[in-house]
Structures are given as C-alpha cells and as structure tokens.
Structure 1
C-alpha cells in the first residue's frame, strides 16, 4: 500500500479529520490531513480549505489549509471485481411511504404550491468487512467523470460519494455552473431519447439558475441541453458561465444557487419547506455541497470548485461491536407528470451507484 493511503489509515486510527478527493476527469487524488480534531466552520467564504455543508445550510464545516498537511498522489488503476448488486424484494412499507410522499408532492404541484419538488429517501444496508480505502478506490475507478470524495471528522462522521453535479466553479470574478436534471437508466443504446417530463424538468432548472445569476452577473451564457452519463445513469445537462458584477462575493453566489432546483425544487423556498415537512428524515449533508474553497495548491491561482453532494452515503462504524452500515440517499425530481411507482423505480436504480462499490 502506498504511503498516501497508509497516512489515511493512520489519520482515521488517530481520530483526526481528513478529506480525500479526485476531481472529474483527473488522475490526481488530493488528501488534506488536519493536524488537530477541532471542528472549524466557513463563515464568509474567504477561508481556504475544503468545505462540507448541509442541505439546510446550517452547518458549513471546513478542513482548513493552514491546519492541514496536504498530499497528492497519482491514481493508478487496480483490478477490482464489480459484481452486480442483486436487487432485493423491496421493503413494502418503504415503497409505500415513498410513493405516498411523491403522490402528495404531485397533488401540491396541481394545487399550484410549486412547479417542481425533489423528494428523497434514505436506505440503510449492513456492511461486512468495510474497507474505507478500497471503497474510495472503487468509486474513482467506476466514476472517473464525477467528483469522488471521502470526508471524515470524528465529530461529523464518514461521508463518501461520486457526484456529477458542479454547484459553482469560481476564479476571481469568472464563474461556471451547470443545470443537471432528468434521469434514465443506461441500457447500452447509442441514441438517448428524452421524454417531455425530463426535458421540462431540465428547462425548469436551467431557467431558474440563469434568472438567479442575472442578479449578480454582467453576462450569463448557457449551452443547449445534452446527455451526460454518470455511471449507469444518464442525465440532461446544460453548461452555464458568466462574469460577476463588482462587489458580489462567492458566498452570495452560493446562497443564490443552493439548494439548486435539481435537489430541491421550484420555487426554492416553497419546495424546500415541503421537503422539510414531508420527507420524514433529516437529509443532513445529502444534497448539501462540498469542495475546494479558495484553494491555492491545486492550480496557479486561487480558485473554488464546489459540488452538490449527490450519489453519496454516510458510513456508520461501531468499533466496539465490529459492525458497519451505510446510509444511502436517493432523490427524484417530481413534476406534474410524475408517476409515483416510476419514481420509486428510479430511486432503486440510483441506489445501485453506491451499492456497486460496497460488494
């Protein structure tokens, strides 16, 4: 095992915070190893380090550059077996509960409470012989176009994921973001055909983001939607970029964008309120955001690269009982054309993203 991953294991054994991450289409893994167990927070987004924020925005933790040892290693492909996770008979109660919440969301849309809402569920699976390093390597190998990360803090827990969605990338006053919505399973077809529901959902997201950014930007440009593959799932994506007006900060841009319509809904406040009142569990860091904040070690100039915390899981380890379990999170964009049973199936398909690396 490399010195880099030996450092990871030692850091965890010493109960010291760290984050590992590999940005999309990169072959470099960066590790930030905090030298104490303090729980730092990002307050005004002028801090430097790796930020990890919750869905509700009430917790924005930071592994600071100036309190950490920073290492990088070139990732080398290894031989792993990825057996298909066998779909088990769904828990009838979980299925019924999720479909009931989706139906309630559709009814709220028909009542003109909002145009779209993203509803999610949590699924817990028991783990045998969980290996943090192996699981992280598997994520990188399976999802090279995603931002793959592992965040550990003894006062927060262990989170891992492979997210395809950039919240915002910023360098001085130039920014990039994306609109990502619509989902379908990959069946190996060369031609991806999108239905009206998915096209409409993606347009909702694009229009909202452009409208928000027009408040703070000199100009905003956007591409036509195109298909993007993330593991075994296809999405519709549009790239968005622009230049900030003088006087606007990164924190203001993040507050405008987060949570995005792709993880919350439209309008934001009404859909967010519906989520908090009806999902029946606390998302915590699922659909929050994470990434480099004012990083100066990865590029020539200071830049920030933040991602939405999708395709993720929380790992709970009971050292005394020698047991571990993973909490998986899956969300679906609900519009007036949604069908509860199909949304359940979509959530099951999405759960395979993390299950593949846990076998």
Structure 2
C-alpha cells in the first residue's frame, strides 16, 4: 500500500485530481490519478472512468476518464486504529434550525402532500491541520464493509467518505440495487427491535425502487429485508435485482433510481422542492453518487459499473471539515429524536478527525 499512499500524498500536494477507493468486503484499494486539471462531465453515462455526481440530478456529474488516468490497485494491508469519540459542545443553533425544518416537514406529511422527506444538515468543525493519508487509512481500517473513498479536484474540493449504500451494480444488462433506510445505534447485548416508523420508511423506499424499474427492467426479484451494520449504526436493507430491457439504457436506469427516497423523499419531485426551499444549504455531492462507470477487464467484453450513494461523508476546505448528516421523516417521526439521530450519524466521521 505504500506506493499508492505516496502517490495520493504527492498528487494532493501538487493539486492534481485523483480518487482512491475500496469497494465493500474486497481486498484492494484502486485509484485514478489525473495529470490534467480540466473538469470533464458526463453527457450520457456511456463514458468510462470514475463518476462523481451531485445530489441535484439537474447538475452535471464529473468524470475522471479511464483513458486519461493512471490507474493503480494495491492489496489492502492496514493496522487497526483505536478511535476516540470526539467530545464537542452541543450546537444549539443548528439543533433549533433542524428541529424547525423537521416540524415543517411533518406538517406537509400530515396534509398528505408528502409521504416522506429526508432532512439533512451540515456540521462544520475546525481542523487546524490534518494528514490526508492517515485520515484515509483510518476510514479504510474502520469501515471494511463500506465503499471508502478519498476524492480530490483542485477546482471542486476534497471529499472523503465511508458509505454503506449501493446505488447500482451492473454487469452487462444484469443489475443489483438496494433500499437502505431506518437507523439505530448498535448497542451490545441489547435486543434488536425495529419500530413501525423504521419499517414503514424502509418499505416506502423498496416500493419506489420496484415501481421505478417495472417499465425499464425484467426478471425483478426483491429479497427479504435484513439488518446490516455500518460503523456504530444499524440499518434495514432490502436487495433488488433484475435485467435491463434491451430498449433501455444505463442512463435511464440511473435517472430512475437517483435520488431514491432514502436520500430525498416521496413523491420525489415534491420532496426535492421542499428540500431546496428549506434546508438552507447546498448538499453538493452529499447524497449524490460515485463509483466506477463502464469499466471492463482486458479479457472481458462486458462492461460493469459499481455506483454508491454518497453517505457518511465529509468535505475538507479552508481548515474546516463539513460533515453531512440527515434522516428520513415520516408521519411517525419525532423532531427531537430526528435531531439525535443526526448526532449519532455525525460521530461516524467525527471519530476520524
């Protein structure tokens, strides 16, 4: 791993674009290193490379082109890190703002304008100095079952994350996706009980995915809902698979899925409008998606893409780390509890700093 980490360090200090990433439950870290700082954007999702897409699907996704990149892959070999919870004073102003937006969302849900909306916030932390490679090593060591990445472009910024949620895995025309919703803290020796609020939230996401896919895919199969662990949190997950119709494209499939109700809400367009009008900050690439686009081995004619929802992430800029967190609001939500959920989620990234 030393060669790849050194390349990350030199590229970052030279202000050159790169991305390094580890896919869930694999043994390698892969990377794209660019020598050209010009921004390139996806036009139709037929490009090959690494894609980084914002939450707002009306905005363009950035592509690190395979043909313009030096690509590396090395076996993951890291020591374990002992992490400490960061103790910070409560941000009462942020709490007040977040609870106010959640209550407004609940009013919309009670009038049946919305079924669900995912309200998020950013939390800013001062970091006078940090070691990028050490920070990335901590993420890799702590979240081996997540998509763990560091992404940098001098014209966009520095992002890191460890996300548990797959947007889409596709090989040829066969694809897998998932609904991931519901959150609780993993407490040892405590019986695991999912309340109706989390179960309903999860089912809404699953139903949305099935409905979005019915006209563009066949052989749809929905697995049983299961509990998965991501860091110190537990989530409900339902896997969905199928085959893309011959008349449909990867772009149609991506547009059908992104953004899912797990990061936006239902109905999707009404929820997006509510968020743009009320969150009062730019999500940017938080709750967007990122990953490999249309890559193939030299011996394989079948293209494959592996895309992940950008959750549990941070942006580092001007000696500040912006940590992004949110939660799904349904009719059974409690505003104070929703605030506490974001506090628990924020610890995932705070523990790294």
Give the unaligned 5+ runs of structure 1: 318-323
Which residue is 1:147 aligned to? 147
CA distance in 1, matches of 2:322, 2:60: 19
SS of residue in 1 equivalent to 2:73? strand
Which residue is 2:49 aligned to? 49
1:315 aligns with 2:327: no
Which residue is 2:340 aligned to? 345
Farther off after superposition, 96-105 or 216-225 = 216-225
CA distance in 2, matches of 1:26, 1:173: 23
Shift, 1:298, TM fit: 9.5
Which residue is 2:74 aligned to? 73
CA contact (8 A) 2:55 2:259 kept: yes
1:354 aligns with 2:349: yes
Aligned counterparts, 1:13-52, within 5 A: 13-52=13-52
CA contact (8 A) 1:183 1:233 kept: yes
CA contact (8 A) 2:81 2:142 kept: no
Map Cα deviations across residues 136-171 of structure 1 (whole Å, 9 max, x no partner).
111111111100011100111001000000001111
CA distance in 2, matches of 1:125, 1:83: 16
Which residue is 2:161 aligned to? 161
Shift, 1:130, TM fit: 0.7
> In structure 2, do the counterparts of structure 1 residues 298 and 34 end up closer, same or farther at CA, with 3 Å as the change threshold?
farther
> In structure 2, do the counterparts of structure 1 residues 176 and 165 end up closer, same or farther at CA, with 3 Å as the change threshold?
same
Farther off after superposition, 296-305 or 175-184 = 296-305
Aligned counterparts, 1:93-242, within 5 A: 93-189=93-189, 191-242=191-242
CA contact (8 A) 1:192 1:227 kept: no
Shift, 1:192, TM fit: 1.7
SS of residue in 2 equivalent to 1:137? helix
> In structure 2, do the counterparts of structure 1 residues 312 and 241 end up closer, same or farther at CA, with 3 Å as the change threshold?
same
SS of residue in 2 equivalent to 1:286? coil
CA contact (8 A) 2:80 2:141 kept: no
Normalization by structure 1: what TM-score? 0.95
CA contact (8 A) 2:102 2:329 kept: yes
Shift, 1:299, TM fit: 8.9
> In structure 2, do the counterparts of structure 1 residues 79 and 168 end up closer, same or farther at CA, with 3 Å as the change threshold?
closer
CA distance in 1, matches of 2:239, 2:278: 32
Shift, 1:128, TM fit: 3.6
> In structure 2, do the counterparts of structure 1 residues 299 and 270 end up closer, same or farther at CA, with 3 Å as the change threshold?
farther
1:304 aligns with 2:305: yes
Once superposed, what is the RMSD of the aligned Cα atoms? 1.3
1:248 aligns with 2:248: yes
Map Cα deviations across residues 285-339 of structure 1 (whole Å, 9 max, x no partner).
000000000012499442000000000000114xxxxxx2100000100001110
CA distance in 2, matches of 1:104, 1:84: 32
Map Cα deviations across residues 202-260 of structure 1 (whole Å, 9 max, x no partner).
00000010110111012210011110100000000000000111111111000010000
Normalization by structure 2: what TM-score? 0.97
**Count of matched residue pairs:** 351
SS of residue in 1 equivalent to 2:352? helix
> In structure 2, do the counterparts of structure 1 residues 201 and 299 end up closer, same or farther at CA, with 3 Å as the change threshold?
farther
Shift, 1:63, TM fit: 0.5
1:84 aligns with 2:85: yes
Q: Which contiguous aligned blocks of 4+ residues in structure 1 show a shift greater than 6 angstroms?
A: none
Shift, 1:49, TM fit: 0.3
CA distance in 2, matches of 1:91, 1:165: 28
Shift, 1:191, TM fit: 4.0
Map Cα deviations across residues 166-221 of structure 1 (whole Å, 9 max, x no partner).
00111111010001000000111364210000000000000010110111012210
SS of residue in 2 equivalent to 1:155? coil
Farther off after superposition, 183-192 or 113-122 = 183-192
CA distance in 2, matches of 1:223, 1:17: 39
CA contact (8 A) 2:168 2:307 kept: yes
Which residue is 1:320 aligned to? none
1:4 aligns with 2:15: no
